[in-house]
Chains A and B, each alone.
Chain A
Amino acid sequence: MIEFDRVSVTYDGASEPALRDVSLIVPEGELALVIGRTGSGKSTLLRAINGLVPHFTGGTLSGRVLVDGRDTREYRPRDLADVVGMVGQDPMAGFVTDTVEDELAYSMESLGMAPDVMRRRVEETLDLLGLADVRDRALTSLSGGQRQRTAIGAALTSHPAVLVLDEPTSALDPQAAEEVLAALQRLVHDLGVTVVLAEHRLERVIQYADRVIEVPGGAAAVSTGLPGERMVTAPVAPPVVELGRLAGWSPLPLSVRDARRAAVALRRQLDSAAPVRAAAELGDELARCSDLVVGYGNVMALRGVSLSVKSGEVVALMGRNGAGKSTLLNTLVGILPARSGTAVASGTDPHQMKPAQLVKAVGLVPQEPADLLYAATVADECAAADSDFKVPAGSCRALLERLAPDVALDLHPRDLSEGQRLCLALAVVLCGAPPLLLLDEPTRGLDYGAKRRLVAILRELAAAGHAVILSTHDVEMVAEVATRVMVLAEGELVSDGEAAEVIAGSPTFAPQVAKILAPLPFLTVGEVADALERAS
């Protein structure tokens, strides 16, 4: 269905090609998963499938891309619209109309389909993706999962043979991600659509993949293989695979279900062991909310939240999209005022503080990291951050080197990949070393390597007496780093307790290791390895 024949892509003005000599074939009806580090060229590969590279982006493409027998050299993206459906990273950015139904019909209108065919396909797609009850709603009023499904539906209505998705679940909570993946699986199984999807969160998708395309970036060659074989040696792997490797299971299980069946012996072996977790050394109270109410207009985003966070803690804030996580973080840095109740950060009211004092008390990495970045190059940004926060020159750069060693310093921050940009914003905020550090969805678009480095840095900060609050949907990250978990729902705090207690028992928030080894209280592969070592 899709054939790449010695394809190389070089963007204008770039010294190195973004893709080098790629040859691969994706047969019809397969789900191909594209993996690789951030900025390694995954998006370029995806966009080459429908000709956006190079027709839209510019640059030079050598070799040949064939989709359903059509050569992208001769067909523009719009001429491939009936064969390839494309869903971008941010569904909101690709919406042309304003209601769900109109959006679903848009591509068909462009293709000039007959009104009765359009009518029928819109109805079918609404049912297929479970959107029937929001058909009249404005796109801006949808939840993240609904938006993503609408974007997929909009690409599907013209019945393309190929569906290309760029990180469809990275911004979604676990429940919404499940919905989207279930919809995709239905397309592959029932309708025979060929799906190509890029995703960092392997733990969510690897079990559905028929084929893995690894884009290593740099000079290394793009390679393809079966997921089971690939995962034996892959440098990045989800926890289920790492546990399998540790326990020496063969064949390597890719889903929790397979792993549970293989894990009977392991569970028995670990029965008497318990994970050793270093208790956090708690110090002064750095964040406190009492009966906090915050709202926008007549919508109350937080209704009576009370909490206290002490230094040395890493608190994970979880909950559905729109549960009030970002509102809580924004209130703690004083961007939003409290309607009633109080929010205290590092002993002061953040809403009253001058910005220059604020950054010494509390720091926030916002959901759009680019909001924090003003300079024209990465190097300038680091220098500006040093002077903004009055720290010795070079501090920011040193932090950035640790977080993302391969960022080119002469690039514009907007030209970085999403993950790299987040690392830069993180470095900027961290160089002020605020006692209270807040992170709003820091793992969006991060690969496993960057995530591991982030975990190490957060642990270090907590040990040095900082308090960290991060909002996230990434349960594996929570299992690794959080000492405490708070779950928000509808603006209320519904659970607050030690990470192990809160997430291990929850059907949506439990990490893979907890699901595999339940009822044993293990959360991460590291804890299991540790327990096995002590036992022997």
Chain B
Amino acid sequence: MRAVHRLTLPRALHPGAWWLWALCMAVAASRTRNPVLLVLILAVTGFVVAARRSDAPWAYSFTAFLKLGLLVIGIRVVLQALLSTRSQGTTVLFTLPQLPLPDWAAGVKLGGEVTAEALVTALYDGGQLAVMLCCVGAANALASPRRLLKSLPAALYEMGVACVVALTFAPQLVTDGRRIRAARRLRGRTRASFRTTAMPVLEGALDRSVELAAAMDSRGYGRTAHAPRAQRRLTALCVLLGLLGILLGVYALLTDSMSFPLAGGALAIGVLLAVGAMAVGRQRVARTRYRPDPWALPEWLVVAAGAVAAGAMVTAAVRGVHGLLLDGPLVVPPVPLLPVVGVLIGLVPALAAPPLKKAVA
């Protein structure tokens, strides 16, 4: 067995594997509003992140996504409380002062009675979205999006570089803004204006992009693209269309919004277009890649674990297994066996993914 296939050889897992696994977990979460399952999915992703994240700055983003999830739930619950009607149930918890609205807004009410059913439904709906966000956060924490972009097919190289640059600049803009707001105090100015806040930030960003472009140019960026521009554009377009087809197909398959043959067809055409264009694109790019991430047994296991988790949930949903959706807001949520086992298999990466290299002290 080659060394890369070993589960115990410390190395970084292919970022693509992490993202696929995390997206599968998100798909699993999208199939249920049962709080038991949602909390289980959150626990599984959280455990894997805790077991396999690195010390890099982006590895702490899971907490940030967790906070964002809580915010989503909070907003959802507050809005529901303000706008709740008795349509969902009759258990009135408390009554807010009601705002009289003009006649044309009939059917909308602000304030008034708040029912337990409305709040619990909002909590579960928000919870689903929050858990899906946390799955993306897990992917972020386990493999920075930049590393993922590095393994993009060669035909999409230019687009990948643009994304990488954007990913660097966004946090930089925030720090710049903070610094410039602080500096405004030093000029004795209290009020912000476009001139004193946005302009310096934008000017700084522009300066930096120009400098980065100069650096990339002097380091040979774009030197090997000998293919005519028209052909390059065509391949890029085909790749994009293909990806769009795949996206559409997967979405349609998951949500049942299109008939099966149509969705399957879109998926197949998408895959064909993308693979074909990438094969053509690969021939013209003479760029090489430094230490490409290997795709070996651990990667397959991680992706398979995610696929099983997602598959179990999707199958359960299609079969109408009891317990994915609740009978009513105020019942004790049931614990359906098949989905629970499926989600627990999502824990496999905590063992199957190789451990990280320890820093040599």
Contact = CB atoms under 8 A, between A and B. Distances in A.
Nearest to B285: A112
Interface string B82-119: 00000000000000000000000000000000000000
B185 A355 contact: yes
A155 B359 CA distance: 26
Given A364-B186, A414-B203, A106 B217 contact: no
A278 interface: no
B231 to A, nearest CB: 19
B183 A355 contact: no
Interface residue SS majority, chain B: helix
A118 B212 contact: no
Contacts of B180: 371
A106 B287 contact: no
Name the residue in B57, B180, B186, B213 with the highest tally of chain A Cβ atoms < 10 Å from its Cβ.
B186
A234 interface: no
B214 A78 contact: no
Given A96-B164, A122-B290, A359 B188 contact: yes
A414 B359 contact: no
Interface string A431-464: 0100000000000000000000000000000000
B146 A98 contact: yes
B189 A78 contact: no
A348 to B, nearest CB: 14
Nearest to A76: B217
Interface string B27-62: 000000000000000000000000000001100000
Name the residue in A50, A136, A154, A330 with the highest tally of chain B Cβ atoms < 10 Å from its Cβ.
A136
Interface residue SS majority, chain A: helix
B291 A52 contact: no
Interface residues of B, number: 51
A363 B286 CA distance: 54
A490 interface: no
Interface string B328-361: 0000000000000000000000000000010110
Contacts of A388: 187-189
B92 to A, nearest CB: 44
Range, interface on chain A? 35 or more
A113 B185 contact: no
B288 A113 contact: yes
Contacts of B182: 330, 335, 366, 371
B291 A138 contact: no
Contact of B287 (A47, A85, A109, A432): A109
Contact of A355 (B189, B203, B222, B289): B189
A106 B164 CA distance: 13
A97 interface: yes
Contacts of B57: 138, 140-141
12 contacts: A56-B213, A96-B216, A97-B146, A105-B291, A110-B224, A112-B224, A115-B291, A138-B57, A356-B188, A359-B186, A371-B180, A432-B188
